[in-house]
A and B are shown apart, each in its own frame.
Chain A
């Protein structure tokens, strides 16, 4: 039986409301839009969206977290994005 073009099965949200697809498109926007940030990962964990990765500044981290929270209002967004450490190294590696 072909369900092409028909209403989704009972209990299945329309594709436009599907959290996984929304997160995938949001990730594309973060990577390709003004943020240009490929270092942030967005993953669906049940009803929560988890953000991880390392970005160059606290400003970028806040921009990403605010954007995701606004776009996915109603879902819990957990931001674990860290800011890159810009301190000098305390040792060198000897490649003897």
Chain B
């Protein structure tokens, strides 16, 4: 069993320095890793990124993050990424990382993701160049997530987690105005997760949404935006699935 702590949308700025640190310092007692689901800063400035870096540095558990739309607002996502990585975090965009949690290998595949909407109510790759690029960008994010999850399967991970900022499902948006769902997530992310397979999908972004959801393929989804979970983080206990045939191999013949 591994214990994954997760939170998103902490929106840190100089005036919030230190707010989360006391709770984060309890992580080694209750979690094996910390997932950060984007919108870690308010505007994506290096100054704000350094606030986050000080909050997560030397926590005693591995930290894996994706950026959110706020973290890109200042047009310096590479700098934000570098500052967080200097503090020890793995910041994923279209790639994955394998974390050793007490002998179990946990793979995390991450992308910020993007919007576009959900099945039957989604934007199409048609019309103005901006509209086509909107949908193509979302498609590229989803494709990178699928490829990263596939790679983790090839590496034989015991558990795989999909980490995004935007939501893969509408379930966890319940509470948000229906009219803005296309700006909150995309079914392409869920399709990628279901195609490659995962044990859990974690996202943020939807402050007015709800915590629990599930993809059509049965993968559990958790919206960990801090206003949703109402805590510094939530912890999920995950159990590695028995390898196919394992029960037969150890049983009577």
**Chain A contacts to B: CB under 8 angstroms:** 36-39, 41, 53-57, 59-60, 84-89, 92-96
How distant is the Cα of A38 from the Cα of B11 in the complex, in angstroms?
A: 10
Contact assessment for B238 and A95 in the assembled complex, using a CB-CB cutoff below 8 Å: yes
B223 to chain A, nearest CB (A): 13
Known contacts A86-B20, A87-B23, A95-B220, A57 near B235 by CB under 8 Å: no
Contact assessment for A56 and B235 in the assembled complex, using a CB-CB cutoff below 8 Å: no
Contact assessment for B237 and A87 in the assembled complex, using a CB-CB cutoff below 8 Å: no
Is the C-beta of B231 less than 8 angstroms from some C-beta in chain A? Answer: yes
Is the C-beta of B26 less than 8 angstroms from some C-beta in chain A? Answer: yes
How distant is the Cα of A89 from the Cα of B20 in the complex, in angstroms?
A: 12
Subset of 6 A-B contacts with CB under 8 Å: A36-B73, A37-B11, A60-B15, A89-B229, A93-B236, A95-B236
User: Which of B13, B43, B220 has the most chain A CB atoms inside 10 A of its CB?
Assistant: B13
Known contacts A56-B12, A57-B16, A96-B239, A89 near B233 by CB under 8 Å: yes
Contact assessment for B207 and A89 in the assembled complex, using a CB-CB cutoff below 8 Å: no
Contact assessment for B70 and A36 in the assembled complex, using a CB-CB cutoff below 8 Å: yes
Q: Which of B148-166 contact A (CB under 8 A)?
A: none
How distant is the Cα of A93 from the Cα of B211 in the complex, in angstroms?
A: 11
User: Which of B11, B20, B230, B235 contacts A92, CB < 8 Å?
Assistant: B235
Is the C-beta of B10 less than 8 angstroms from some C-beta in chain A? Answer: yes
B12 cross-chain contacts in A, Cβ below 8 A: 56
B10 cross-chain contacts in A, Cβ below 8 A: 56, 84
B128 to chain A, nearest CB (A): 22
Indicate with 1 or 0, residue by residue over B171-205, a CB within 8 angstroms of chain A CB atoms. 00000000000000000000000000001100000
A96 cross-chain contacts in B, Cβ below 8 A: 237, 239
Contact assessment for B26 and A88 in the assembled complex, using a CB-CB cutoff below 8 Å: yes
A89 cross-chain contacts in B, Cβ below 8 A: 30, 229, 231-235
A3 to chain B, nearest CB (A): 28
Determine the residue in chain A with the shortest Cβ distance to B232: A86
Contact assessment for A88 and B237 in the assembled complex, using a CB-CB cutoff below 8 Å: no
How distant is the Cα of A56 from the Cα of B9 in the complex, in angstroms?
A: 9
Determine the residue in chain B with the shortest Cβ distance to A88: B23
User: Which of A38, A54, A59 contacts B15, CB < 8 Å?
Assistant: A59
B231 cross-chain contacts in A, Cβ below 8 A: 85-89
Known contacts A56-B10, A86-B20, A93 near B237 by CB under 8 Å: yes
Contact assessment for B13 and A95 in the assembled complex, using a CB-CB cutoff below 8 Å: no
B235 cross-chain contacts in A, Cβ below 8 A: 89, 92-93
How distant is the Cα of A39 from the Cα of B70 in the complex, in angstroms?
A: 12
Contact assessment for B232 and A39 in the assembled complex, using a CB-CB cutoff below 8 Å: no
A54 cross-chain contacts in B, Cβ below 8 A: 207, 226-227
Known contacts A56-B11, A94-B237, A95-B238, A87 near B232 by CB under 8 Å: yes
Contact assessment for B16 and A39 in the assembled complex, using a CB-CB cutoff below 8 Å: no
B237 cross-chain contacts in A, Cβ below 8 A: 92-96
Is the C-beta of B42 less than 8 angstroms from some C-beta in chain A? Answer: yes
A41 cross-chain contacts in B, Cβ below 8 A: 208
Contact assessment for B227 and A88 in the assembled complex, using a CB-CB cutoff below 8 Å: no
Is the C-beta of B3 less than 8 angstroms from some C-beta in chain A? Answer: yes
How distant is the Cα of A83 from the Cα of B246 in the complex, in angstroms?
A: 49
A75 to chain B, nearest CB (A): 22
How distant is the Cα of A57 from the Cα of B13 in the complex, in angstroms?
A: 10
